[in-house]
Structure 1
Amino acid sequence: MSAPRDQHFLVDRRAVERIAGSVEVSGRRVLEIGPGEGILTRALLDRGAHVIAVEIDPALVEELELTFADELEEGRLEIVPGDAKKVEIPPFDLVVANLPYSVSSKITFRLLDIGFEVAVLMYQKEFAQRMIAQPGTSDVGRLSVMVQTYASVKPILELSPASFRPRPQVRSWVVRITPHEPPYPITDRKVYADVVRVLFSHRRKTIRKALRLGEDAFASETIERAIAALPEDLLQRRPEDLTLEEFALVANTLAGC
């Protein structure tokens, strides 16, 4: 069967074994997004996981139901048809998945919002590199800041295009994501998320100018009060140069205004 949309089926069995074995799944509820033809699903089930598989493609859902009829009957597998960006997902403990490249960002943000113990996720290499980009580098952006605020990210495996069918044009990274509390106090998480979004929407502007362009998120009076309260040297810098502590300072100042 050909891959739907932008999904590339993982066919490298050694990689599958490494991914499935990178976290203890026995007896745990494991969310798998985009199971495709079920090669990783099988490896997780064989390790004693209870798998919740979310698949958007109806043809693949039908194929999975046939392939895993026994596991479905035994209750060791749940198949959730639908779009992982918005479908209701049953409770889970862990996430192990090969995410479709085009929705990696939205699904990652949703998973962090829902919460989990550990996630082992596959991304396009360049996307994963942005997740761990540090302040002051060209790769840092909204993704870097939001992910690093709420989780630690550790690359554990790199895969070539030959590991997939059809072969993508890029290399892939498998990373381990472990949620944690923000390293600096955040008064309002929504305000924090809005600040990060607004600033990186105008990443070539100074913080002062970028905030003043954020009237879709904050009232102009609130922005001006926050600008008056923030340090001048911070206001003159650009978003890519701020640390996580400084993003928290901007957000907390706005939340207090």
Structure 2
Amino acid sequence: MTDGSDLPPLREVINTYGLRAEKSLGQNFLLDLNLTGRIARCPGSLKDETVLEIGPGPGGLTRAILAFEVSHLYAIEKDTRCLEPLKNVSDAFGGRLTVLNEDALEIDEASLLPEKAHIIANLPYNVATPLLIKWLKKRELFKSMTLMFQKEVADRIVAEPRTKAYGRLSILCQWLCTVSRQFDISPQAFTPPPKVTSTVVKLIPRETPAYPADLEILEKVVAAAFNQRRKMLRASLKSLGVKPEPLLEEAGIEPTRRAEELSVEEFCKLAEAYRKAQ
């Protein structure tokens, strides 16, 4: 048996191992096989590819990924209760699954992964954004990232300028990746149902950032601008410790504009002006 066909239904697994979802771990189990298959299809063909999954839980999405003939799947699971049922999944798929009982925020992906990998994950809500930021800074390790967030976070990732959701996460993600919203998932699809709708987003890391800028400087400029997003840039950028007007002039940006009005390219120009002024 190497195709998982003899594995018991997920609800039976949950009952057998007493896998009540733990709120402290941000757990909401996705048991709908149609949805797990749909998520696993988002990156495109996974045949002979390496995949990283975070928080597999009882293994619903894990089974779907392995069914697409991946070369190997590395799964990071913090909850020790899930280790035995996941070992059963590994056995059922010919050992193509390696499960590590680790904290995803602390693992070193570079030493774990033998080659460029795809990330596919139903992320725990409480660590979703820190994990995404971590992976953006290691983007050279990944071919794609298919990630499930609460809808509010997904909205921020794909947001356009002049919208309420547009902000620091939008700029960083769109500067370093091409981003696309895939589909929403109703709370009723999960066990237990969360209080919010979930959204699957696909990010494909760019070979080089969309526009020239230094990451740390860009983060600093964007943070200053959005920390007082209702103020004009000539006021909000004062926290950078230099006069904002020359920076804005250098970048070709009107000082009366506000942070949410600037494109990713304009923020990069502003970051470059600030870098030169230091």
Instruction: Name the counterpart of 1:132.
Output: 158
What does 1:77-116 align with in structure 2 at a 5 Å threshold? 77-89=97-109, 90-91=112-113, 92-115=116-139, 116=142
Give the TM-score of the pair, scaled to structure 1: 0.88
Q: 1:37 aligns with which of 55, 58, 74?
A: 58
Q: Does 1:239 align with 2:259?
A: yes
Residue aligning to 2:246: 228
Query: For the residues of structure 2 that align with 1:229 and 1:198, how far apart are their CA atoms?
Result: 13
Moved over 4 A (4+): none
Structure 1 counterpart of 2:78, which letter?
I
Tell me the TM-score normalised to structure 2 length.
0.82
Identity %: 36
2:63, 2:30 → 1: CA distance? Answer: 12
1:204 has 2:230 as partner: yes
CA distance in 2, matches of 1:7, 1:177: 23
- For 1:209 and 1:60, how far apart are their aligned partners in 2? 51
Secondary structure of the residue aligned to 1:51 is strand
Contact kept in structure 1, 2:247 and 2:270, CA below 8 Å? no
In the alignment, the residues of structure 1 paired with residue 80 and residue 203 of structure 2 have an alpha-carbon distance, to the nearest angstrom, of 29
Contact 1:34–1:53 (Cα < 8 Å) also in 2 = yes
Distance of aligned partners of 1:139 and 1:41 in 2 relative to their CA distance in 1, 3 Å threshold: same
Kindly provide the CA deviation profile for residues 171-228 of structure 1, in whole angstroms up to 9, marking residues without a partner as x: 1111221122333222x222112222222222222222222224xxxxx3xx23x642
The answer to whether the aligner puts 1:17 opposite 2:44 as a matched pair is no
Contact 2:161 2:261 in 1 (8 A): yes
After superposition, the CA RMSD in angstroms is 1.9
Out of 83, 86, 98, which is 1:64 matched to?
Answer: 86
Rounded Cα–Cα distance in structure 2 between residues aligned with 1:208 and 1:11? 51
- CA displacement at 1:110 relative to structure 2: 1.2
Structure 1: stretches of 5+ with no match in the other structure: 215-219
Please say if residues 71 and 77 of structure 1, whose CA atoms lie closer than 8 Å, have aligned partners that are also in contact: no
Q: 1:119 to 1:69 in 2, by over 3 A?
A: closer
Could you say what secondary structure the match of 1:230 adopts? helix
Unmatched runs of 5 consecutive residues or more in structure 2: 1-18
- What is the identity, as a one-letter code, of the residue corresponding to 1:148? Q
Q: Among 211, 225, 237, which residue is 1:184 paired with?
A: 211
Equivalent residue pairs, number = 246
Distance 2:220 2:102 in 1: 28
Contact 1:206 1:239 in 2 (8 A): yes
Shift of 1:86: 2.2
Q: Residue type of the partner of 2:136?
A: L
- Aligned 8 A contact 2:247 2:274 in 1: no
Shift of 1:236: 2.2
SS at match of 2:267: helix
